A and B are shown apart, each in its own frame.
Chain A
Amino acid sequence: MQKLREILESYQGKREDIIPILQDIQGKYGYLPENALRELSKFTGVSESQIYGIATFYAQFRFTPKGKKHVMVCTGTACHVKGSDQIIDAIQRHLKIKEGDTTPDNEYSLEAVGCIGCCSLAPCAMINEKVISRIKPRQIKRLLPQKS
């Protein structure tokens, strides 16, 4: 909770602070933990249900932790035309998880995201901060090695 207190201290608790605070919480924890949202509600005086209303509206926010390697597959138009569906499909089969989920060993999580702005190098994916451009299904096994 120390981390959370530090975040809240840099804000005044106005309504307009809610989204930036949620972003900061997610930045620190990797997701939005339940008790952090409860504290945010107390801090801003906005009801918990409204806070959830905001958090679930925006695509950025997640309620479960990410894997150590967070794989984001771009589904922008250019990437879609170049086969991003097959990339997601190949990753789902390889990691044996569905889009939006995390592997049981917390190693990987998979997310389909809107355009990441690298359309000219489509199809693209990001593993944590690193962009992989012109990705092919046959690279998946090598890019996402599994321990066992």
Chain B
Amino acid sequence: MNFEKLVQKAKKEYYSIFRGEPPAILIGSATCGISAGSNEIKKVIEDEITRENIEARIIPVGCIGSCYAEPLIGIFKDNKEGIFYGPVNKKIVKEIIKKNIIEDEVAEENILGTIQVKETGNTGSFFESDFMRLQSRQILRRCGLINPEDINHYLATGGYTGLLKALEMGADEIIDTIKRSGLRGRGGAGFPTWLKWDLCRQSNSKEKYIICNADEGDPGAFMNRSLLEGDPHSVIEGILIGAHTIKAKKAYIYCRAEYPAALEKLEKAIKDLDKIGLLDIEIVIKRGAGAFVCGEETALIASIEGRRGMPRTRPPFPTTKGLWGKPTVINNVETFAAVSLIFQEGVEQFSSIGTGSSKGTKTFSLVGDVKRTGLIEVPLGTTLKRVIFDIGGGIKNGGNLKAVQIGGPSGGCLPASMMDTEIDYDSLTSAGAIMGSGGLVVLSDDSCMVEIARYFLEFTQRESCGKCVPCRLGTQQMLLILNDIVQGNGSPEDIETLHEVAEAVKAASLCGLGQTAPNPVLTTLKYFREEYVEHVMNGRCPAAYCRELMHYFIDEKLCTGCMVCSKVCPADAIVGLEDEVHFIDQEKCLKCGSCMDVCKEGAILKVPGPGKSIE
């Protein structure tokens, strides 16, 4: 069958879902949806359909981004606008099936918004909600709206038309197209994609490779996982365009083993692509084995070759000497998806979004103390304020914003006063942070910035490959100092030492891991120095976060002796008889806050200081 006919057939099949004849039920079934309980929801829906003897299709889809509203379902029936509901539970979902499908009324419970999918694009009020309105869903345009395991859904929505366009072009024209788009690498460093491809293409070698870096190891980031689970073909299409450009016959996708669902969907996608005859190179999936440093391109290459994932000095760059010494292009998952976007939708659409030096959009995982957590995509140049307050809905539980941690362990912490910073490669770098691959952790007043710096250092110290001395010993030294400080054993000189070591590690490390590992320390020292001072001078954690420098305290005026707190205490640390004032045994206390969560009287307080002397 020729491509045109294939697409015709796929469109007929795909758009029939949204006509809802028979009714179609979309279920967000990415890892996040499943962890929120979507498998149980699916089971309930299946049972209801059988019990009520109705005809309906269940379509598993990826994450549409609003993780805060998971589990999430969408219902399409009788050519009407579809309705998305979330969060749903077993009870609500039964109600929704009854009302929306059987009685043909709108169920009032937990409506997220209506949605209408036409062949021209997506419209409808869900996309006009506060969460969606200010986003620009380009890379993620299919996520949550297609079944990632059905190649027809991809074909119906313009899939592989970009590849066909690219195949008609020569390599010159492809590279020129990417150059005009202004695309920079989405893995974090922001190197111009066209230049990387061009350097590799110019290399004189018969054997060349293309590698997709899907080793998303940043804690707090799941953009690549969501994209691979929601729209794997878009990444594969970009890889094929790249292979065609540099004339590679073999491609590798290096994906974390911790992402089993993403790996499964990639395997299925490659098989399906082969079936329809569009796969003209060999694509090998390599499972990562859990090493953050393998996100570094030279380390990743070493890992594919079957060695320890240790980086090496550059030059030579992988574009001249990469996998098995052959010219190699390595790009991030999102970069490849951006390439297929550019070729499917055109350069103009891509480059009309963004700022002068940072074109297009960027996906972020918005997490932490923000009301609406999830996966978002915004035009480059959007301010942090807009992301956190307008899209994310501000800080949870009425707290105040303290800082934003951006760029993973190698990024930095920007204080609330800098929320007018625009998210683009250059603004973030000048603020002391980096774009990174896109983890955005929002921190409220409840977080201690010294402890956050310690946390990241613990991570980078553990993940340092140990090859170069500044990184191996420097990160360890910084961690030891930070451990002392958060435990109340720090001294005033520690702050200066920390600063010196951080500068040295930054200047002298071999690879990106070491060069950026001090960023959390340097940015917190710059913007939150007074918190360090308070820890070392007064033995207090102002946020009452560091476990050694805070304690829980029962206010005897408010305690009614109801015993609720003592029942939930996992450490049996709360003592006191019924109807009498309770006390917390500070030696036994885990400091988990379970008691505070359940106390109806508000009698339990979190207090800075070790609490050894308070009665």
Q: Are these two chains actual partners, yes or no? A: yes
* Chain A interface (Cβ < 8 Å from any Cβ of B): 14-20, 22-23, 53-54, 57-61, 75-81, 83, 85-86, 89-90, 93-94, 113-122, 124, 131-133, 136-138, 140-141
Please, which residue of chain A has its CB at the minimum distance from the CB of B292? A114
Query: CB < 8 Å: which of A120, A124, A137, A140 contacts B68?
Result: A120
Q: Are B592 and A89 in contact (CB under 8 A)?
A: yes
Which of A23, A113, A115, A133 neighbours the largest number of chain B CB atoms within 10 Å of its CB? A115
Query: CB < 8 Å: which of B34, B452, B594 contacts A137?
Result: B594
Across-interface contacts of B374 in A (CB, < 8 A): 120
Please, which residue of chain A has its CB at the minimum distance from the CB of B591? A86
Across-interface contacts of A120 in B (CB, < 8 A): 32, 67-68, 70, 365-367, 373-374
Q: Are B287 and A20 in contact (CB under 8 A)?
A: yes
Across-interface contacts of A140 in B (CB, < 8 A): 570
Instruction: Compute the total of residue contacts between A and B using a CB distance below 8 Å.
Output: 156
Please, which residue of chain A has its CB at the minimum distance from the CB of B259? A117
Please, which residue of chain A has its CB at the minimum distance from the CB of B595? A138
Please, which residue of chain A has its CB at the minimum distance from the CB of B310? A57
Min Cβ gap A8→B in Å is 15
Q: Are A118 and B455 in contact (CB under 8 A)?
A: no
Give per-residue flags for B433-476: 1 if the beta carbon is below 8 A from chain A beta carbons, else 0.
Answer: 00000010101000100001001100100000100000000000
Query: CB < 8 Å: which of A23, A61, A81, A115 contacts B217?
Result: A115
| For the complex of A and B, 4 pairs with smallest distance between CB atoms | A59-B290, A77-B220, A120-B67, A131-B35
A33 to B368, CA, bound (A): 40
Please, which residue of chain A has its CB at the minimum distance from the CB of B223? A117
Across-interface contacts of A118 in B (CB, < 8 A): 31-32, 35, 222
Given A115-B221, A117-B222, A118-B35; 8 other pairs, CB 8 A cutoff: A61-B290, A76-B219, A115-B218, A117-B32, A118-B31, A120-B32, A132-B35, A138-B568
* Chain B interface (Cβ < 8 Å from any Cβ of A): 31-32, 34-36, 67-68, 70, 216-222, 225, 257-259, 286-292, 303-309, 365-369, 373-374, 405, 408, 439, 441, 443, 447, 452, 455-456, 459, 465, 547, 568-571, 590-594, 597
Min Cβ gap A97→B in Å is 16
Q: Are B447 and A15 in contact (CB under 8 A)?
A: no
Q: Are B592 and A83 in contact (CB under 8 A)?
A: yes
Q: Are B441 and A16 in contact (CB under 8 A)?
A: no
Across-interface contacts of B366 in A (CB, < 8 A): 120
Min Cβ gap A65→B in Å is 18
Q: A58-B291, A85-B547 are in contact. Are A113 and B258 (CB under 8 A)?
A: yes
Q: Are A77 and B405 in contact (CB under 8 A)?
A: yes
A90 to B303, CA, bound (A): 36
Min Cβ gap A99→B in Å is 13
Query: CB < 8 Å: which of A17, A89, A93, A114 contacts B290?
Result: A114
A93 to B309, CA, bound (A): 35
A141 to B567, CA, bound (A): 12
Q: Are A138 and B35 in contact (CB under 8 A)?
A: no
Q: Are A81 and B258 in contact (CB under 8 A)?
A: no
Q: A76-B220, A119-B367 are in contact. Are A15 and B35 (CB under 8 A)?
A: no
Query: CB < 8 Å: which of B308, B441, B592, B593 contacts A78?
Result: B441
A54 to B463, CA, bound (A): 14
Please, which residue of chain B has its CB at the minimum distance from the CB of A78? B367
